Every structure is written in structure tokens, then in C-alpha cells.
Structure 1
Amino acid sequence: MSILKGNGKKIIETIIKVIGICSILPVLGIFAYIIFKGVPAITWSFITEGPKSGMREGGIFPVIVGSILLTIGTIIAAVPFGILTGIYLVEYSNDNWLRRIINLTIVNLAGIPSIVYGLFGMAFFVMALGMGRSLMAGSLTLGIMSLPVIITATRESLLAIPKSMREASLALGATRWETTWKIVLPAALPGILTGIILSVSRAAGETAPIMFTAAAFYLPFLPESLSDQVMALPYHLYVISTQVPNMPESNMMGTLFVLVFITVGFNLLGAYIRNKFRKFR
């Protein structure tokens, strides 16, 4: 019987490994295809110049700048509010009907399609508040879309910290805020950073929300204020793939490669920072 159990365990482990490899292979294949098709299109002029000749020539410099600005705006709009909301739910709120409604709302918000956030941003920020299609409206819309993941990650990371750490800090005379800020939050930071990375990476690759609130088909200038429209990689890729006839494939694949490179690079940077914090715990 022990031999059969041992063989059964090995079979299950082998099946799990095969399933894991099979799930990774399509992703690796997509990355290989993007690299094979996209790298030859990457030149210095492609990165540093603006689009020309109806976007069939030139580069994507304003598109890259617009995506970076939208990502920074999303971080500013979502991260502080998301972390503070998670801290409130775990450290300060009581287990009552209000807390349960907030938690249920967060779960529901996480499942809303991105195009709904785009329509909300257009109706509220663009039209009701009079921001127009602008960098600010797009950043706020993406920030709201990112909130559920950041709040959930913060809440779960804080709940994973043992209560004994809080009790020890309070017993030594620290206030609740000092305990949260100096003891609990640093210990939960790796998990919080994971949620921030996932949510912001998703926001950086979204097309629908910025289509209604911030992105422009073509701009001959870089944004100079929060009220200006921007070009962005996801929307630009959609435009040149579907709206511009006779678009060279190299431009499309080069844009796709830059978008994937920025997204993966942001994830790798976040993982590096997260591991650094984990080492100092």
C-alpha cells in the first residue's frame, strides 16, 4: 500500500508539473512572437520621434509619454486612498453593517468591466465636473478602477499580520496609529506592493477607460497640463490596428513590443522593490 501511495503521489506531482508547463507555454509563445516581430521595428527614431504621414511613419514618443503620465496619475489617485481605506477597514472599523457593505462594494467593483468605468468617467469627470477629455479625467478614472485591487491587497496583507505584534506594541506604550504605521504597515508592505503592481499594470494596458476620458487619436504636441488630452499606447495600438488603412505591420508590432516591455518592466521593478522590503522585515 505504501508503494502504491508513493507512486500515486509521484503521478499527481507529474500531472501538476505538466499542467503548469502547458499553462506557461502559450504565454512564452506570445512573448517570443512579440519579440521576434517587434524588436526589428525598434529604432532610435521610432522611440524619440512623433507620428508622421497619418501615423504610418515616424515614431511613438508622445504615445510613450502619455502612457507614463497616465500611469503616474493613476498611482497618485489610487494608491494613497486605497491603502488608507484598507487600513481603516482592518485597524479602525468595527464589524458592523457599514463595514460589511463596504467590503461587498469593493468585491463588486472588482468585477465591473473596464468599459463601464470608462463610461462612468465620461459621465462624471468629463461631463458633470467639466474636466473634458483630459489627463486628469483619465487618471482619476483609472485610479477608481484600480482601487478595489489595492484595497483588497492592503486588507488581506494587514489581516495576515499576527495580533501578537499589535498587542506587544500597545503593551510597550505605543498608540494605535504608531503601531499601525511603524509595526503593522511595514510588515504588510510586500503584499500591499503586490496589489499595487497588479492594479497599476492592468490600468496601464487598458483601452476602454481612456478612450472615453483622456486619449486622443493624434496630437502634434506633448501634454503641458492636466487639462490636456494625451496619446496612450493601448489606444494608439487600437487605432493603428483598426482605423488606419495600409498601416505597416512593423509599426504595430513595434508599438505592441513597447507596451509589453513597459508593462513587464514595471512588474519586474515592483517585484524587485517588494523583495527588498521583504528582506528587511
Structure 2
Amino acid sequence: MMRKVSEIMTKDYTTVDALWGIRRVQDIAEKAVIDGFPVTDNGEIIGVLTRNDLIKSHPNRIVLDAMSGNCKYIEADEPVWKAKELFEAEDTDILLVTQGYKVTGVVTKNAVDVEIGKHMDLLTGLYKSDYIIYKAHRHLEQGKEISIIFFDVNNFGYIDKEFGHTVGDNILKEIAKILNNNAPEGTFLCRYGGDEFALLTDQCAENSEALAQDMLNKVKQHEFYGDISIGVSAGIAGGKRRNPRNGNMYKTIASLINIASLASTKAKKEKDNLVLGYSGTIDEIAI
């Protein structure tokens, strides 16, 4: 489960005065591994001085002239994924963490990168399942539609036993690369576990069908290591939303993933290896 910003932030942070000289701050930075400093003027935080600012600035300048810009804030209860998004969108190495209107700590880009790294699948280079759970929750908060395409490698247990785990790992890496290269912008792919992958889209299930079929075809057309025949099945879960979503969004997301997973198992028996699992129950879940 992804941690909150409050769990990785630094509470005992060091501030620097806007009128201090850069040389003084450089001396502080040398004694402690600090990626940035909140800058204060008469006790009020007015900006941030990053380590990069220190490197670029002449020692005789003052902090006020050298700091890179305005403060960027994030709420303490936000997931670390949100901090990652802010660092990607903003040119900063440090965020001020707030609880209500009070600054309670700082979180650095390095700390976020370390935490995010724990949620990266080392074999395939894809994020793990909590990545699309977070993205799906964000979509629902924004009133968007969501569907899950769940991919499951056919007979992977047999492949693993027949050709060995090293070959099996190479095949999983190839499949991950194919799926990732063919996932359109605005969709989010993860390795869900074992030989399973999940893709989040902001389309209803019917509109996701063509995408799923195209990705299955790409896998089918690929020449795998040792000319081993590889098939992948897919299940889709989504719905036509009739009313605004209320209630526990995480429960909705978990239900969609579960139904898509069950649909992918059923798809193994179908000629085109694709099953839509959005009828009946799913409409009630996804409304």
C-alpha cells in the first residue's frame, strides 16, 4: 500500500533567512545532506532554496536573490503518488508539507523517488498494482469513466516448468514491453502480479474492447524467445455510468479489477481470448 506524504516527510527541517549569504547556507548544507531549505522573512516562509540554487549561485549573493521561486505545497495526507506528480509538473526539488494552513514538514524529490522505487516491479520495469488503483481513484474523483483491461498469460505455469524460470522471466519482460509500447497516452499499465498485467483506461468497457484486441494481436504477432508460442487472454470490466458515483471508490475499483480478472480467466476458453465482463452486476458497481 502506498504511504502518505506525512510518513516520509522531514519534520525537523532547517530554514534559512532571506538575507543570509549563500556561503553561510553552503556551510550548513555541507554538514548535512539537505536537498533544500525553506526561506523565511520575518519568520514567514516566502520561498525555497534548492541544492541546485546553491551550486549555481555565487557565495557572496544573498538567499533572496538566489532562491529559485515560489513555494510548492502538498497536504500531509496525500499519497506519495501525488507528490511524484507535483515533482514531475513543477521545477523544484522540495515541497512544503501542510496540515491545514500550517507547514508541518518538507518532502524532497529524492525521498519520493526512493519510496516510489519500492512500488516498481524490478523484472518488467512497470509499476505495481497500487499505481493504477491510485490513478483510478483520481479518475473517479474527477468524474471520469474508468475501465480495467486485465491481461493473463495463457499456460504460463507450463512454460515456466518446461523451459525454465529464466526463459519465463524473459517472456514476461517481452510481454510487458509490448503492452507498454502499445498502451495509448492517458492509459496506465501495471504488472498486477505473477503473469498478470492490468491497464486502466478512461473509456467505458465497450470502447476499450478495440484497444484490448489490438494489444492481444500485438502479442500474438511477436516472435518470442526460442520461437515459443505465447498467448494472452484479456478481460474487461467497466460500465456505463448512469448517476454520479457515491460511496467507497476504492471498493468500486477493487470490484472492477476482480471482475476483469475473472473475465480474463473465462477468456482463455474463447476463440479470440477476449471477454467483456461489464454486463449485469458491473453496471451496478460502476454507476
Taking structure 1 as the reference length, the TM-score comes to 0.22
Taking structure 2 as the reference length, the TM-score comes to 0.22
Greater relative contact order (CA < 8 Å, ≥ 6 in sequence): 1
More strand by share: 2
